[in-house]
């Protein structure tokens, strides 16, 4: 309370306020430097992205199979959540593949076959989705 009263006295009196402001150090104005920051996804690296993708896919599949095979059909929102987690894992895996390709040297042969890699990736994803569908429906 004593500190508040002292502050009020200084703020109330115009001369005391000027003296207080004069004794305070003036802030220096720093100009922001131009910095380029790496995106957060690249901070974890390709191996971190692959680990994240594997964990998302494993968790999503486990939750999807849990809902389906334990007869917990009333928990259908968990099934939707599982599909979303799996889709997120696929997107992370695609990002890891893209970043791994971009990390290669410009003269590396794998950089020339970008379209082939994309087609192969999506064929594997589609085949895995069909395999999960066959398991879930019991064909």
Q: Is residue 3 part of a domain?
A: no
Q: Is residue 133 part of a domain?
A: yes
Copy the structure tokens of residue 81.
């959540």
Q: Is residue 94 part of a domain?
A: yes
Q: Is residue 128 part of a domain?
A: yes
Q: Is residue 50 part of a domain?
A: yes
Q: Is residue 73 part of a domain?
A: yes
Supply the pLDDT for residue 110. Answer: 78
Supply the pLDDT for residue 33. Answer: 67
Provide the number of structural domains found in the chain. Answer: 1
Average pLDDT over all residues of the chain? 84
| Better-scored residue on pLDDT, 28 or 94 | 94
Q: Is residue 21 part of a domain?
A: no
Q: At which residue do the structure tokens 């494993």 appear?
A: 58
| Better-scored residue on pLDDT, 109 or 86 | 86
Domain that holds residue 123: 44-137
pLDDT tens digits for range 29-55: 676 666 665 566 556 778 888 999 999
pLDDT tens digits for range 93-131: 999 888 888 888 888 887 888 888 899 999 999 999 999
Supply the pLDDT for residue 76. Answer: 82
Q: Which residue, among 92, 88, 119, 114, has the nearest Cα to 101 in the 3D structure?
A: 114
- Distance between alpha carbon 116 and the CA centroid of its chain, in Å? 27
| Better-scored residue on pLDDT, 103 or 89 | 89
Q: Is residue 119 part of a domain?
A: yes
């Amino acid at each position: 309370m004593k500190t508040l009263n002292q502050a009020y006295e200084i703020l109330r009196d115009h001369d005391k306020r000027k003296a207080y402001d004069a004794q305070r150090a003036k802030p220096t104005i720093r100009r922001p430097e131009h910095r380029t920051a790496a995106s957060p996804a690249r901070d974890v690296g390709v191996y971190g992205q692959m680990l994240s993708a594997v964990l998302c896919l494993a968790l999503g599949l486990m939750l999807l199979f849990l809902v389906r095979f334990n007869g917990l059909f009333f928990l259908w929102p968990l099934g939707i959540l599982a599909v979303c987690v799996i889709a997120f894992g696929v997107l992370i895996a695609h990002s890891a593949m893209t970043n791994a390709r971009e990390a290669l040297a410009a003269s590396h042969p794998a950089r020339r076959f970008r379209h082939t890699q994309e087609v192969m990736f999506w064929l594997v994803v589609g085949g895995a989705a069909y395999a999960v569908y066959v398991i879930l429906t019991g064909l």
